[in-house]
Chain A
Amino acid sequence: DADVTQTPRNRITKTGKRIMLECSQTKGHDRMYWYRQDPGLGLRLIYYSFDVKDINKGEISDGYSVSRQAQAKFSLSLESAIPNQTALYFCATSEIASDTQYFGPGTRLTVL
C-alpha cells in the first residue's frame, strides 16, 4: 500500500552492525506494527505501538528495539545485528476501531 512506506527496501550488513529500518505512513492510523517474515513461519510480531507514547513487545522482541517518533513514523533498530536476523521485515498500520492491517512494501535484510 503506497500509504505505508519503508526504507531501505534492501540492506546487506555485517554481524555486529547497528541497523535502523524506518516506516512512515500517511493513513493517519494510530497503531503501527513491526513484523518479520521467514519462510514457513508466517508473520511474527516484533513490536507494536498504539500511539506515540505507547510501545509494546511482541512475540519476538529480543535483539530489537523501536522508536515511535511521531504518529506517522515508527522505526525498528537492530542494535547488534546477527545472521539469524536475516529476514523480510514489514511495517503495518491499523485504525483504532479495526483489526485490519495495512502493510508497507517490506525491507529485505541480510546479515552476513
Chain B
Amino acid sequence: GQQVMQIPQYQHVQEGEDFTTYCNSSTTLSNIQWYKQRPGGHPVFLIQLVKSGEVKKQKRLTFQFGEAKKNSSLHITATQTTDVGTYFCAGPRRGATNKLIFGTGTLLAVQP
C-alpha cells in the first residue's frame, strides 16, 4: 500500500546547529504538506508545495519538493529551542481527494 516514510525518526541537536528531515513517498504526490507538532500539542500546518522541484522558505525553514514529486525535505538553519517538536510531512492519498497520508514524523530535540 501507499507509504510515506520520514528519516530520521529522532534527532538531537545543539542550539545553533542545522537540522534536516527527509520525507519519502512510495507514490508520486500531487502536493506535499508539512506540519509541526509541539510537545503536548497538535499538528499545525506549516506549508504546502505543489510544483516539481519547488523550494519555499519561511524565515529559517527551507522546504523542498523533489523533481519526481516523491520526496521532500525540511531544513532548519541555526536551530532554536522554539523549533522543538515533531515534524510531519503529508500527501494526498492515492485515488482520493481531501484525504492525507502522514509520514511517520521526525522528533527534533534542541539543547540550549
The proximity string for B residues 35-57 relative to A, scoring 1 for CB distances below 8 Å and 0 otherwise, is 00000011111001000000000
Chain A residues proximal to chain B, CB less than 8 Å: 1, 31, 35, 40-45, 48, 50, 90, 94, 96, 98-106
* B65 beta carbon closer than 8 Å to chain A: no
A43 touches B44 (CB 8 A): no
Report which of A42, A48, A94 forms a contact with B104, defined as CB distance below 8 A.
A42
Comparing B11-19, B72-80, B95-103, the segment that makes contact with chain A is: B95-103
Interface size on B, residues (CB 8 A): 21
A48 to B99, CA, bound (A): 9
CB distance from B47 to the nearest CB of A (A): 10
Chain B residues proximal to chain A, CB less than 8 Å: 9, 31, 33, 41-45, 48, 88, 90, 92, 97-105
Contacts A99-B31, A101-B45 known; A42 to B105 CB distance under 8 Å? yes
Q: Which residues of B contact A96 (CB under 8 A)?
A: 98
Q: Which residues of B contact A42 (CB under 8 A)?
A: 88, 102-105
CB distance from B60 to the nearest CB of A (A): 22
B48 touches A100 (CB 8 A): yes
A101 touches B100 (CB 8 A): yes
A40 touches B104 (CB 8 A): yes
Report which of A40, A41, A94, A106 forms a contact with B98, defined as CB distance below 8 A.
A94
A99 touches B88 (CB 8 A): no
A50 to B90, CA, bound (A): 19
B43 touches A99 (CB 8 A): no
A97 to B105, CA, bound (A): 26
Q: Which residues of B contact A105 (CB under 8 A)?
A: 41-42
Q: Which residues of B contact A103 (CB under 8 A)?
A: 42-44
CB distance from B18 to the nearest CB of A (A): 24
A103 to B90, CA, bound (A): 14
For A50, the closest partner residue in chain B by CB is B98
Report which of A1, A99, A104 forms a contact with B100, defined as CB distance below 8 A.
A99
